[in-house]
Structure 1
C-alpha cells in the first residue's frame, strides 16, 4: 500500500512516516502544498494524508485540484477543529478528517477503514441503482436525472448510494454517520443535515422533498 504524507511539520511528518513504515506501508513525504500536489498527480496512491495549513499551496486547494482529476482517498490533518473547517474539508472531497493532536493508533485505524472501503468498491459488480428518474452507475459513479448528468462530490455520491441501497428504509443520522464517516467522535450529526441539504439542492428544484424525505425526530428516507 502506497501512502503520501503532505505535512510541513517535519517532526510530525517523520513520526508518521516511521509509524506507517513499521506497519508495512510504502510512504513518501512532501513538505509543502505544491510538491505534495505534484507527487499526488504522478502516481496512484492508496491514501493521502494532507495537512490543511501548508506553505506554497494550502491543503484545501491541494484537495480541490486533486479531486478534480483523481479519486484518491484523502485524510485531512489539521490543528483547526471548527465545524466549518471540517465541513469545508469534507465538502471539497476529503474522505476523513483528524484534528491535531491525535493518537497514532486512531490514524492507523482510519487508514485501515479507508483501505477496506476501497477494496469493497473494487469488488462491486457493474450495476445501476434506479429511483424515480434517477440512475446511479456504481462503476462510473455517474448520476443521471432523466437525460441530464449531475455532478456529485464523493461524499454526496456516498450519501446517495446509501439512500438508493435502502429505499423505503428510514436512515437515522447515526446510521448515516456510521456508513459514510464511520461515526468518528469528532464528526457531529449536523454534518449529515448539511450534506442532505447539498444533495437535495442538486436533485430537486427549490429544495423540495421529492426524493429525500425528512422523518422528524428520526432521520431521512427515499420512499417509493
Structure 2
C-alpha cells in the first residue's frame, strides 16, 4: 500500500505547481486587483511547505495522548482563517465581523486538535467547539453578513454568495471528515488521501475561483472615496485592512 508520506509529498508537489501558476496569473491581473490575489498565492505556497515537511516527518511533537504535526498546523492555521475572513470581506462587512469570523475559524480548528490529542472532557469540548462553531459560522454568513452583502452592488453580492457557499460547503465536508477520522473509521492511507483532496479543493480550488471572479472587486478598488457599510470608513481603508489579513 502507498505510504501516507508519499501522498503528502505528491500533494506538496501539486501545491508548488499551483502556487507558480497562481503567481503567474496574479501578475497578469490589473495592478489594483493584485493585492487580492497575492495572499492566495502565499496561502497555497505555505500549504506546500507545510505538507512537504509533514510528509518528511519534520516537526512532529507529542501533546496529551496524541501527536501534532507542525507542517499541518502551519498550513491549516493560515489557510482556514484567511479564506473565511476573505469571504466576510467580500460581503463588505466591517472589521468587527471579519476578525470575529477569523477568530471563530481558529477556535474551530483548535477544537479539532483538542479532540484529536486529548481524552475525556477536553476531547468533548473540542468536538463541541467544532460543531457549535460551524453552526455559528452558518448563522453569521447567512444572517448579518449576508444582510451587509445585500447592500452591495448585485455583482459583488453574487460574488459573496458564491464565495460563502464554496467555503462553507468545503469546510462542512472537512468537518464531517474530521468526525469520521476522530472516530477511527479511516485507515492511514484513506485518511491521508481524503484529507489532501479536501484541502486542495479548499485552498487551490478556492483560489482559482477567486482569481476568476476578482474583477468584481475592481469597482471598489477604483472608488476610493466610498464608505464601508459597517464601519463608515473609506472603502480603501477597509480593503487595505482586509488584504493585510
TM-score, normalised via structure 2 length = 0.28
Q: Report which structure shows greater RCO (CA 8 Å, sep ≥6).
A: 2
**Which structure shows the higher strand fraction?**
1
